[in-house]
């Protein structure tokens, strides 16, 4: 099991949360699927739920902002030591901000924006809330990857904002994918959306949660109202599947070993 109490290294995916129309429905779904204990936060938090696994925060669920038309979606947050400085780098690198930096009670300071190809992500400067405190475990955040239609441009953008380095894992032709490295350690992935990807699928950050049995998790998810977007299949990093929750939010599950590591040992997140 991977646990962490301190803030994540800048540039690391450090938190994920879900925005939906019905937080109670989402609470029941993810509680049934992953065993999360989703707890109400103070009234100032606007209905946000903190989702705990084994007593540690692993994700959040919140209501959609009023008056903003958007689908239900899982969002990845990247750690920063200075949200204002990182926000300026996002804009200088060709990205844009949907939310300028602001304080979230005493939990931290955040902003939310888009990379030049349109992939949405948040940035998080930790204070009282350090981010995910349990990872690489069944039911916990396990992996985050940015999938883009502009592979080279995305690499340049995130390198300019977060100082990312990359280990190429693809063949440079039919499969373009890199391991994202921060301070020499792998923290996530960045890949190119294939030509077969439907045009309506935007550039995005994908969230992966761990499971000890992908097939049984898919079956349980379907019984709780989810739909399969990509059937379970084997990969060199573990058996994985892509699901859409009852409110349409898309996420992935991937097998982790008994030690809490992904099957290959390469696809676990660090930082």
Q: What is the pairing mode between strands 120-126 and 73-79? A: parallel
Cα dihedral 95, 131, 253, 154 in deg (nearest 10): 20
The CA distance from 152 to 239, in Å, is 28
What pLDDT does residue 259 have?
40
The residue count of the chain comes to 271
Q: Backbone phi, then psi, for 205, in 5-degree steps?
A: -100, 125
What pLDDT does residue 271 have?
58
Tokens found for residue 114: 């888009």
Instruction: Supply the pTM of this predicted model.
Output: 0.94
Average pLDDT over residues 153-159: 98
The CA distance from 15 to 75, in Å, is 8
Coil, helix or strand at residue 232: strand
Average pLDDT over residues 115-141: 97
Question: Is pLDDT above 80 for 265?
Answer: no
Question: Is pLDDT above 60 for 267?
Answer: no
Tokens found for residue 232: 């379970």
Rg (CA), the chain: 17
Average pLDDT over residues 116-122: 98
What pLDDT does residue 264 have?
30
What pLDDT does residue 261 have?
44
8-20: burial string, b at 16+ Cβ within 10 Å, e else? bebbbbbbbbbbb
What pLDDT does residue 79 have?
98
Q: Which domains does the chain have, with CATH numbers?
A: 2-133 (3.10.180.10), 135-255 (3.10.180.10)
Packing angle, helices 151-162 and 83-92, rounded to 10: 150
CB 148 within 8 A of CB 190: yes
What pLDDT does residue 236 have?
86
């Amino acid at each position: 099991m991977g646990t962490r109490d301190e803030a994540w290294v800048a540039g690391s995916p450090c938190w994920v949360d879900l925005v939906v129309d019905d937080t109670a429905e989402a609470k029941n779904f993810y509680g049934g699927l992953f065993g999360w204990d989703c707890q109400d936060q103070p009234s100032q938090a606007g209905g946000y739920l903190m989702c705990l696994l084994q007593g540690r925060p692993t994700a959040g669920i919140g209501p959609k902002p009023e008056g903003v038309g958007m689908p239900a979606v899982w969002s990845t947050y990247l750690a920063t030591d200075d949200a204002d400085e990182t926000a300026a780098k996002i804009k200088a690198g060709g990205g844009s901000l949907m939310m300028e930096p602001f304080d979230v009670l005493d939990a931290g300071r955040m902003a939310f924006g888009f990379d030049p190809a349109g992939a949405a992500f948040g940035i998080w400067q930790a204070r009282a809330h350090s981010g995910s405190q349990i990872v690489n475990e069944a039911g916990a955040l396990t992996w985050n990857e940015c999938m883009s239609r502009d592979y080279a441009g995305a690499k340049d953008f995130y390198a300019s904002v977060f100082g990312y380095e990359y280990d190429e894992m693809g063949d440079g032709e039919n499969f373009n994918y890199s391991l994202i490295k921060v301070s020499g350690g792998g923290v996530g992935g960045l890949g190119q959306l294939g030509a077969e990807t439907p045009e309506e699928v935007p550039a995005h950050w994908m969230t992966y949660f761990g499971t000890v049995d992908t097939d049984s998790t898919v079956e349980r998810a379907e019984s709780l109202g989810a739909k399969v977007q990509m059937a379970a299949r084997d990969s060199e990093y573990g058996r994985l599947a892509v699901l859409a929750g009852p409110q349409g939010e898309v996420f992935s599950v991937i097998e982790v070993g008994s030690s809490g590591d992904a099957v290959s040992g390469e696809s676990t997140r660090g930082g």
